[in-house]
Structures are given as structure tokens and as C-alpha cells.
Amino acid sequence: MTVEILRPRDVPLGGLRAIHVRRTLPHRDRSFVGAWCFVDHYGPTQVRAGNEGGMDVPPHPHTGLQTVSWLFEGEIEHRDSGGVVGLVRPGEINLMTAGHGICHSEVSTAATSVLHGVQLWVALPDGARETGRGFEHHAPEVAALPDGAGEARVFLGSLAEVASSPVHTFTPLLGAQLDLAPGARLELTVDAAYEHAVLVDQGEVTLAGSTLSPGHLGCLDPGPDRLALQAGPEGARLILLGGEPFEEEIVMWWNFVGRSHDEIVAYREAWQARSDRFGAVDGYVGDVERIPAPALPGVRLRPRNRRGRTAP
Ligand code: MN
């Protein structure tokens, strides 16, 4: 059982107040864990008066994916062109389906003094990627892990003997926050058909014999039906992701997921032209009304598959 450790790169998030995130997916060597195709981890960062240090991402578009917002601390106001205004709070999943096209804004609220969480994307399979806009919110119960090892919040899919989430997904997925007690050891029963990954938020975690530090994403191919985890002496907090291998090729650029260079070009033009494809966000207050798409690179965008970018 080989754990592939992906180390994060520091990326400034677009927006007026560009918070920095630690990005582990997509990675040169790996595009997906299941259909999870994007893993950003941020904070804890102090937020001062006037949202200084906080998040303020003006309206921007998405296609062909779902966004999962999950916070450890803080509060974010979400507004989208499906008419949803919602608060993202710690321990509650907000799942936005972009499908054919959506746009949204994300702003940390005045009540936020510390911002800390993850932003994850799920690639939609070809048969679902033109689906309509959607939004689901769910606050999972805090479930006990076996052997007094700690607590779990299962926000997507199911963790055997622990808990399940009622939130609908378009491919088989797992997403959970695990809080491990100091020195805890446990073996989790998992689906052997899934790829799995552990994102460490706090503490040290040993996954199948490999030690992961905060910010690392430790990835495992399908095969094992037990995952051995051990927390360091201070305990650990982690996000466990999983899913059936995603066998499609996608093209990811900026906020879009498509299947070809030409599709991405068309999405970009539609956003710049204020097409109905993306609709409009009501009620966002900021100096910038919407984020313009960046220029495309001078080369054709290359598809990615499970192993990274495909040959040109
Ligand atoms: Mn977004």
C-alpha cells in the first residue's frame, strides 16, 4: 500500500482581498481522487475590521463541477445566480452544483475573526455536467469513531460503522472531517473500489505507515478495504476524501471544467459577454462587480486524466 504524498503550493485566490490557499489538487502527478478534482486549504487567518485578511470573492462563473465549502472556523456568505443566499458555517456542508453554468460570490461575514477551511471541487460526469444549477446544505451529526479514537462528521457518502450523508452526488464519493484524539490509532473500513486521500489540517497523521504533516494530501489507489490512521501526540484534524476512480478526461481552466479546449473558449466568451448561461448574482456589495476572465494561454489547453495531463 503506497501513499503518494502531495505537498501544497501557495496560490493567491482571485478577488479583492486575495487570501492565500494551499492547493494540493490538481497536481502535476495526479488530477483526481475519485471525482474530487480540486483541493484548496486555507487558514487559520486572522480577520480584522473591514474584512481585512478575510475573503471577498466577487461574482465569478463555474461550469461542469460542484463546489464543496467546508469551514473549521469563521463564516462565509454565499450568493449565487440560482437565487441562493446562504451562510457557510463550521461543520456544515454547502454543495453548489454549477452544471451548465452558474456564478457566485463568497464573502466572509462581519462576525468572522478567524477564517479556516477548505474549498473542494467535484468534477461532474459527462452525463450530468449539463445539469441545472443546484444547492444543498447539510449539517452532519457528530459521530463517534471506533475505539474512542475521536469524532467524525461525514458530509458526503458513507463511512462504514460511523455515519452516512443524505446529500446526493453524481458519482460515488466520500467526504468527512475526522478529529482524532492524541495518539489515537484506528482502522477504518472503507470501500476497496475507491481511491482515498487524507488532507491534514492540524497535527501529524500516519496513514498506512506514511507520516503526513499539516497541508499534505496523502493519496491511496483502490485496493485496501481498511485504512490505518494514527494521530500524533497532540491529536489531529483531517479531511478524508474518497471516490470511485474518475475515468473521464477533463479540461480544467480558471473556474471551468469542460472536455475540450474549444468548450473552455466558449465558456470564457459567454462569461465575458454576460451570457444567460451564468445568470447574475443579486446583492453582492463590492468595488468590483464581477471577476473578468483572465486571458487564455497562447497554447491549446490539454486534457487531464487520472494520471495528470495527457500527452500533447
Ligand atoms: Mn467559486
Residue 170 CA, ligand 1 centroid: distance in Å: 19
Q: What pLDDT does residue 160 have?
A: 93
In a domain, residue 267? The reply is no
In a domain, residue 88? The reply is yes
- CA nearest 235: which of 158, 178, 164, 187? 178
Q: Are strands 236-243 and 20-25 parallel, antiparallel or unpaired?
A: unpaired
In one-letter notation, the amino acid at residue 229 is: L
List of the chain residues with pLDDT < 50? none
CATH of the domain at 106: 2.60.120.10
In a domain, residue 127? The reply is yes
Note whether 97 and 134 are within 8 A (CB). yes
Per-residue model confidence as pLDDT tens digits over 262-305:
999 999 999 999 999 999 999 999 889 999 999 999 999 999 99
Domain that holds residue 140: 4-243
In a domain, residue 266? The reply is no
In a domain, residue 205? The reply is yes
- pLDDT, mean over the chain: 95
In a domain, residue 310? The reply is no
In a domain, residue 265? The reply is no
Burial class (CB in 10 A: 0-12, 13-18, 19+), 214: middle
Q: What pLDDT does residue 147 have?
A: 87
Count of domains for the chain: 1
In a domain, residue 34? The reply is yes
Residue 154 CA, ligand 1 centroid: distance in Å: 22
Q: What pLDDT does residue 1 have?
A: 80
Residue 57 CA, ligand 1 centroid: distance in Å: 8
Name every residue whose Cβ is closer than 8 Å to that of residue 124 and which is 6 or more positions away in sequence: 35, 64, 65, 66, 97, 98, 99, 131, 170, 257
Residue 232 CA, ligand 1 centroid: distance in Å: 34
Per-residue model confidence as pLDDT tens digits over 99-109:
999 999 999 99
